[in-house]
């Protein structure tokens, strides 16, 4: 057979934690010496006495250590971590040049691993990164993701980690979902017969299974002071909990020195319940975790390995909160009192949970070896990233940033035609108002004239107009920007395409919706509806309209006729409505209906009462009716009672159909109706709907603000 070149694999290990993941792979590579050459490089805290000189366990496992690099600058603070990375970068090139491996295997998220990845990437050595794509919730995330960016191949542990790597633009074909290699050892060795001997050798002869605690807490480098405080509280809680406790010294990160100081100050090493250790061989440590009553601290071992045995875990602080966990983990994110930690110990100690296989099934190593065999050294070394499609975004210009993003809002009402410039925060920067012309041509002409004037002013006012929003009476198809069918109040306004002419004239996107829907949108963005998932807005003005927000979106209906709340029919006969039907709420409770009744009373000389201020020539309005009722006119009072009952019953119907959590009354008559509507709901609605609140809108200009919100919400999204 033709000579087949062996794959030169270099495994670099920096501390006891990564060795527990790398050892099973090293063993696998070594046992296939016909296919692979293994080189072992040891650096980092393996070589430091305070951390237990852990390189010896590599020798005990019968691996030849090709190179030992002293790369740690002592000091255990932020600066010394950075200096250690620098020192490793100075020493690694010689070694890598001498070994010249085909592939370098790097594990995890430690600063030493970052140095390895930088060196190998710059020296054109292929990198296989283990355990990429995970999220723990500390600076480690930034380092881990940086190594993923430098690595050419990835062996990850969980499905979610794989998805994260793909989302980070890594090439799908170079990611292996292997599971965690330490699980290969875990799942095969945790049924040892001599486990009690191991436990007794570390914790003394009196100890019983499930009746001791394993504690392992590391510093969180981004908040060292807080780490030290949590460590002190944990030790206090453990002392008062009064169970045998095996405590491991923290790792080498910034802050560990101070943590050891706290431990010494509290006399932990002399305390009869505690055994403090710098290092425990992984296979023995596994037995200790497997049979512990509980594990406490913030080591990833608690979140990952302990789950395989169902050992209860208390995770303190934020070092692991991003990780996927089994149900055996209880988080104490805010571990700010001794009491909380003590309570967590009471809850977890001695329980047993189902074994969780999130992080692996025990077959990671065979998968990784198979993956290594498929690496083609002929294919180009240069990584390619798989970027998702992103819409071209325009680079920002400084003026663009300094401008206020704004919308042009148009409100077409029964009487007036109004235009406003509205900024992002819902402030009306400038408002224009004209009587709404009676004919179509005059109306369109006036809209364009007012908009052009507003656009000129916007430049002067430093507002960047992102689009135009139109609120109009009648039924509207918002997808097409067309008014389908108008109300009686606006003539010559059916089947009108508003989008095209406005968009053509102003070169801006245009959104159109009816005034009721716009009022609901205004409440959603700027008013009482902010953050409310389901609510209804009812406008009580000249007419009655409204909008329904369901799951944060407007309901338009199949023929754009949804939320025509003014035309809910509350009586079989009842007064005639402008829509041609009878008994609609609008025919009872709108401004028009009240004005009609006021005129009727006035014609019969039954309106005016003493103390009412009313000129003869003055036009009679709803306000006069309210005034008369307030001054004791019983006829006027009866009319208003009937109006608020009709409105209340209509709203009860709405509650029974869409069951919102809030009703917002808007429009000029809202404050007048609010209390009586609330009362009718509590009398006439079904029990489950009686508690629904009715509030009066605080917005001055719901139609304009709602029209603007269509623009501000959509135009500022990157994607339509």
Q: What tokens were used for 417?
A: 């035609």
Within this chain, do residues 194 and 158 fall inside the same structural domain, yes or no? no
In a domain, 353, yes or no: no
Residue 650 to residue 663: CA distance in whole angstroms: 12
Q: 3-state DSSP call for residue 588?
A: helix
Element (H, E) at 322: none
Tell me whether residue 64 is annotated as binding: no
Within this chain, do residues 601 and 518 fall inside the same structural domain, yes or no? no
Q: Would you give the DSSP letter of residue 479?
A: T
Q: 3-state DSSP call for residue 202?
A: helix
Q: How many residues does the chain have?
A: 720
Within this chain, do residues 166 and 261 fall inside the same structural domain, yes or no? no
Is the pLDDT at 609 greater than 90, yes or no? Answer: no
| Model pLDDT for residues 80-116, shown as the tens digit of each residue | 999 999 999 999 999 999 999 999 999 999 999 999 9
Average pLDDT, the chain: 91
Q: Are 184 and 363 in contact (CB under 8 A)?
A: yes
Which residue is catalytic, options 504, 515, 613, 627?
515
Q: Are 403 and 462 in contact (CB under 8 A)?
A: yes
Tell me whether residue 386 is annotated as binding: no
Within this chain, do residues 429 and 565 fall inside the same structural domain, yes or no? no
| Model pLDDT for residues 182-197, shown as the tens digit of each residue | 888 887 776 778 899 9
| Model pLDDT for residues 198-213, shown as the tens digit of each residue | 999 999 999 999 999 9
Indicate the number of domains in the chain. Answer: 4
What residues does 432 pair with on adjacent strands? 419
Between the alpha carbon of residue 148 and those of residues 132, 169, 268, 365, 385, the distances in Å are: 6, 10, 39, 20, 11
Within this chain, do residues 565 and 682 fall inside the same structural domain, yes or no? yes
In a domain, 43, yes or no: yes
What residues does 214 pair with on adjacent strands? 246, 295
Within this chain, do residues 436 and 305 fall inside the same structural domain, yes or no? no
In a domain, 656, yes or no: yes
Using a pLDDT cut of 90, give the percent of the chain over it.
71
SS3 per-residue string spanning 74-97: CCCCHHHHHHHHHHHHHHHHHHHH
CA atoms within 13 A on the CB side of 437: 10
Q: Which CATH number do you get for residue 450? A: 3.30.420.40
Domain that holds residue 520: 401-527+705-719
In a domain, 476, yes or no: yes
- Confidence at residue 397, expressed as pLDDT on a 0 to 100 scale: 54
Tell me whether residue 61 is annotated as binding: no
In a domain, 92, yes or no: yes
| Model pLDDT for residues 271-325, shown as the tens digit of each residue | 999 999 988 888 899 899 999 999 999 998 888 889 888 999 999 988 887 888 8
Q: Are 504 and 518 in contact (CB under 8 A)?
A: no
In a domain, 389, yes or no: no
Residues 670-680: what's their mean pLDDT? 95
Within this chain, do residues 197 and 305 fall inside the same structural domain, yes or no? yes
In a domain, 84, yes or no: yes
- Confidence at residue 640, expressed as pLDDT on a 0 to 100 scale: 95
Helices (H) and strands (E) in the chain, counts: 25, 26
37, burial (CB in 10 Å: exposed 0-12, middle 13-18, buried 19+): middle
Residue 190 to residue 306: CA distance in whole angstroms: 11
What residues does 11 pair with on adjacent strands? 40, 105
Within this chain, do residues 105 and 157 fall inside the same structural domain, yes or no? yes
Closest CA to 130 of 109, 156, 110, 103: 156
- Confidence at residue 46, expressed as pLDDT on a 0 to 100 scale: 86
Q: Are 473 and 487 in contact (CB under 8 A)?
A: yes
Q: Which CATH number do you get for residue 272? A: 3.40.50.2000
- Confidence at residue 391, expressed as pLDDT on a 0 to 100 scale: 63
In the residue annotation, 515 being an active-site residue is answered as yes
- Confidence at residue 1, expressed as pLDDT on a 0 to 100 scale: 36
Tell me whether residue 515 is annotated as binding: yes
Within this chain, do residues 194 and 113 fall inside the same structural domain, yes or no? no
- Confidence at residue 400, expressed as pLDDT on a 0 to 100 scale: 53
User: What does R_g of the chain's alpha carbons equal in angstroms?
Assistant: 37
In a domain, 388, yes or no: no
**Angle, CA 532 vertex, CA 527 and CA 536 arms, to 5°:** 75
Residue 424 to residue 340: CA distance in whole angstroms: 44
| Model pLDDT for residues 616-638, shown as the tens digit of each residue | 667 888 989 999 999 999 999 99
Tell me whether residue 210 is annotated as binding: no
Within this chain, do residues 537 and 446 fall inside the same structural domain, yes or no? no
Is the pLDDT at 669 greater than 70, yes or no? Answer: yes
- Confidence at residue 2, expressed as pLDDT on a 0 to 100 scale: 41
- Sheet-wide strand order for 103-107: 65-68, 36-42, 7-13, 103-107, 126-130, 153-156, 175-177
Q: Are 426 and 705 in contact (CB under 8 A)?
A: yes
Residues 126-153: what's their mean pLDDT? 94
Residue 77 to residue 63: CA distance in whole angstroms: 32
Predicted model pTM: 0.54
Tell me whether residue 475 is annotated as binding: yes
CA atoms within 13 A on the CB side of 699: 29
Element (H, E) at 444: helix 440-460
| Model pLDDT for residues 474-533, shown as the tens digit of each residue | 999 999 999 999 887 788 999 999 999 999 999 999 999 999 999 999 999 999 999 999
Alpha-helical runs (H) found in 461-590 = 499-506, 515-526, 585-589
Q: Would you place residue 402 in the very low, low, confident or very high pLDDT band (cuts 50, 70, 90)?
A: low
Residues sharing a CB contact under 8 Å with residue 184, sequence separation 6 or more, in sequence order: 24, 360, 362, 363, 364, 365
Within this chain, do residues 671 and 715 fall inside the same structural domain, yes or no? no
Alpha-helical runs (H) found in 375-417 = 398-402
Block residue for tokens 């006439």: 684
Within this chain, do residues 559 and 661 fall inside the same structural domain, yes or no? yes
CB atoms within 10 A of CB 279: 15
Tell me whether residue 164 is annotated as binding: no
- Confidence at residue 616, expressed as pLDDT on a 0 to 100 scale: 67
Residue 515 to residue 475: CA distance in whole angstroms: 9
Q: Would you place residue 675 in the very low, low, confident or very high pLDDT band (cuts 50, 70, 90)?
A: very high
Tell me whether residue 586 is annotated as binding: yes
| Model pLDDT for residues 15-37, shown as the tens digit of each residue | 888 998 999 999 999 999 999 99
Q: Would you place residue 718 in the very low, low, confident or very high pLDDT band (cuts 50, 70, 90)?
A: very low
Q: 3-state DSSP call for residue 663?
A: strand
Tell me whether residue 10 is annotated as binding: no
């Amino acid at each position: 057979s033709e000579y087949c070149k062996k794959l030169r694999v270099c495994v670099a290990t920096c501390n006891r934690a990564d060795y527990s993941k790398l050892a099973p792979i090293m063993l696998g590579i070594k046992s296939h010496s016909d296919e692979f050459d293994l080189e072992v490089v040891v650096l980092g805290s393996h070589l430091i006495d305070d951390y237990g000189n852990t390189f010896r366990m590599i020798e005990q496992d019968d691996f030849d250590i090709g190179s030992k690099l002293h790369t740690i600058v002592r000091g255990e603070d932020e600066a010394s971590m950075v200096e250690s990375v620098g020192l490793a970068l100075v020493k690694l090139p010689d070694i890598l040049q001498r070994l010249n491996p085909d592939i370098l295997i790097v594990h995890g998220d430690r600063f030493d691993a970052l140095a390895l990845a930088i060196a190998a990437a710059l020296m054109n050595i292929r990198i296989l990164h283990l355990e990429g794509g995970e999220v723990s919730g500390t600076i480690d995330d930034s380092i881990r993701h940086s190594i993923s960016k430098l690595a050419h191949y990835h062996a990850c542990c969980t499905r979610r980690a794989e998805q994260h790597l793909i989302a980070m633009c890594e090439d799908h074909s170079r990611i292996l979902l292997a599971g965690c290699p330490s699980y290969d050892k875990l799942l095969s060795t945790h049924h040892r017969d001599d486990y009690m001997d191991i436990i007794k050798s570390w914790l003394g002869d009196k100890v019983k299974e499930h009746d001791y605690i394993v504690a392992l807490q590391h510093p969180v480098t981004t908040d060292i002071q807080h780490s030290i405080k949590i460590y002190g509280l944990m030790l206090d809680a453990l002392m008062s909990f009064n169970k045998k406790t095996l405590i491991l010294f923290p790792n080498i990160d910034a802050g560990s020195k101070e943590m050891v100081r706290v431990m010494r100050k509290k006399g932990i090493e002399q305390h009869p319940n505690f055994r403090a250790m710098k290092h425990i061989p992984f296979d023995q440590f596994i037995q200790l975790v497997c049979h512990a009553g509980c594990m406490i601290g913030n080591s990833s071992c608690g979140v990952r390995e302990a789950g395989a045995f169902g050992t209860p875990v208390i995770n303190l602080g934020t070092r692991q909160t991003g990780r996927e966990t089994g149900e055996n983990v209880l988080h104490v994110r805010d571990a700010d009192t001794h009491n909380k930690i003590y309570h967590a110990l009471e809850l977890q100690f001695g329980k047993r949970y189902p074994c969780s296989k999130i992080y692996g099934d025990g077959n990671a190593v065979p998968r990784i070896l198979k993956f290594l065999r498929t690496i083609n050294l002929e294919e180009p070394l240069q990584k390619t990233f798989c970027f998702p499609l992103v819409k071209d975004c325009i680079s920002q210009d400084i003026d663009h940033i300094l401008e206020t993003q704004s919308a042009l809002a148009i409100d077409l009402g029964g009487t007036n035609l109004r235009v406003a410039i509205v900024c992002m925060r819902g402030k009306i920067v400038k408002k224009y108002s004209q009587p709404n012309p009676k004919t179509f041509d005059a109306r369109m002409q006036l809209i364009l004239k007012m908009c052009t004037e507003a656009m000129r002013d916007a430049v002067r006012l430093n507002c960047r107009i992102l689009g135009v929003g139109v609120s109009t009476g009648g039924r509207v198809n918002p997808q097409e920007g067309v008014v389908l069918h108008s109300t009686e109040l606006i003539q010559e306004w059916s089947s009108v395409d508003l989008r095209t002419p406005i968009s053509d004239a102003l070169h801006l996107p245009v959104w159109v919706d009816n005034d009721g829907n716009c009022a609901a949108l205004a409440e959603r963005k700027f008013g009482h509806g902010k953050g409310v998932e389901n609510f209804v807005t009812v406008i009580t003005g000249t007419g009655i309209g409204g909008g329904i927000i369901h799951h944060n979106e407007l309901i338009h209906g199949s023929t754009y006729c949804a939320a025509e709340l003014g035309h809910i029919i509350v009586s079989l006969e009842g007064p005639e409505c402008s829509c041609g039907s009878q008994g609609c709420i609008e025919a009872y409770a709108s401004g028009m209906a009240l004005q009609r009744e006021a005129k009727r009373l006035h014609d019969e000389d039954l309106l005016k009462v003493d103390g009412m201020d009313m000129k003869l020539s003055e036009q009679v309005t709803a306000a006069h009716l309210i005034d008369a009722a307030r001054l004791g006119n019983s006829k006027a009072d009866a009319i208003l009672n009937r109006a608020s009952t009709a409105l209340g019953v209509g709203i009860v119907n709405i509650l029974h159909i869409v069951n919102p959590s809030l009703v917002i009354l808007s429009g000029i008559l809202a404050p007048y109706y609010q209390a009586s509507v609330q009362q009718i709901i509590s009398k006439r609605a079904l029990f489950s709907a009686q508690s629904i609140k009715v509030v009066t809108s605080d917005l001055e200009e719901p139609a304009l603000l709602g029209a603007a919100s269509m623009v501000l919400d959509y135009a500022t999204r990157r994607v339509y």
